[in-house]
Amino acid sequence: MKVVRLAIILELAGTGLWGAGKETFEADMTTYKLPYLTESNEVLKLPAIPGSYIKGLLRTVAYKIAGLLINAGLVDGVDPIAQRCWVGSTCGKCVVCQIFGSSGQYQSSVYVSHFYPVKKEALAQLKNVLWHEFDVDELVNRQLSLTRLNLTQLAHVKIDNRSWKAEEGGLFVIERVKPKATFLGEIRLYKAFIPSGNLSLLHALRLILLSLAQLNYTFVGRRTRAKISLLKYKPPQISQDSVCKEVLNDLEWRA
């Protein structure tokens, strides 16, 4: 077992935003869009979720739960809290750094694709053909499975802290993806990039899966919540581990 692949579904529980800008500034906030070429050679912008954003979420959650899993004997490695490790100052020694990488040292063993908007009714078909006919990153070339998302624009006004009145020129707009939008992405875990002898692929997978499950209980964007489920995974033998099997069953997508 050299590579573990997880196809992940993210369904918005409310409106979603993964964009640039700050609400406190007099600037519009727009959601992230990925340029792509249509069959008629027209360049359009597809609202999507950056893979780096999801990877950052997973790392943040992993920092929070790694110590608990180590103490419970579910994961081997060094507790990041003991190393005072965090995203802005990585230690290169803890279990999180060994999986997600660290500044100037380990290459990350985790790859996260962009999450692409797909038709909910196409998920059953995608489950059958994904990894056989094409990969997740090729979804932009399979436009029958993609969907054009409906975006909503919410107007806001910046209030002056002293006068408590609307500031001149303080009107700004936040662009958000409407609720129930469904995204599909992939997480890959590579054994070759895990430091030899320090951590097994199985224990690294446990931390990834349990961090993924925790995303159901936290924000996955700017004031954005979603339901996370698992469309499919490979290789099938990862379900032989009791911890992985329980999480895989809990996250399993059901039509």
The pLDDT of residue 106 is 61
- Of 115, 111, 120, residue with least CA distance to 136: 115
The pLDDT of residue 26 is 47
235: preceding bond cis by omega (within 30 degrees): yes
Q: What is the CATH number of the domain that holds 146?
A: 3.30.70
Work out how many domains the chain is built from and give that number.
1
- Of 174, 140, 180, residue with least CA distance to 48: 140
User: For the chain, how far is it from start to end, CA to CA, in angstroms?
Assistant: 29
Domain that holds residue 189: 3-251
Neighbours of 64 (CB within 10 A): 14
CA distances from 16 to 89, 123, 150, 244 (A): 29, 20, 11, 29
DSSP state of 21: S
**Helix 201-214 vs helix 51-71: angle between axes, to the nearest 10 degrees?**
110
Whether the CB-CB separation of 186 and 112 falls below 8 Å is answered with: yes
CA 255 to centroid of chain Cα atoms: 21
- Of 142, 141, 137, residue with least CA distance to 122: 142
The pLDDT of residue 175 is 82
Per-residue pLDDT of the chain (255 residues; tens, 9 = 90+): 799 999 999 999 998 988 765 555 545 667 888 887 777 777 878 889 999 999 999 999 999 999 999 999 999 999 999 999 988 889 888 999 999 988 877 679 999 999 999 999 999 999 999 999 999 999 887 776 788 777 887 776 777 777 777 666 667 778 888 899 999 999 999 999 988 666 899 999 999 999 999 999 999 988 899 999 999 999 999 999 999 999 999 999 997
Q: Which two tokens stand for residue 134?
A: 């094409």
CA distances from 35 to 38, 42, 49, 71, 192 (A): 10, 10, 13, 45, 32
- Of 151, 154, 153, residue with least CA distance to 181: 151
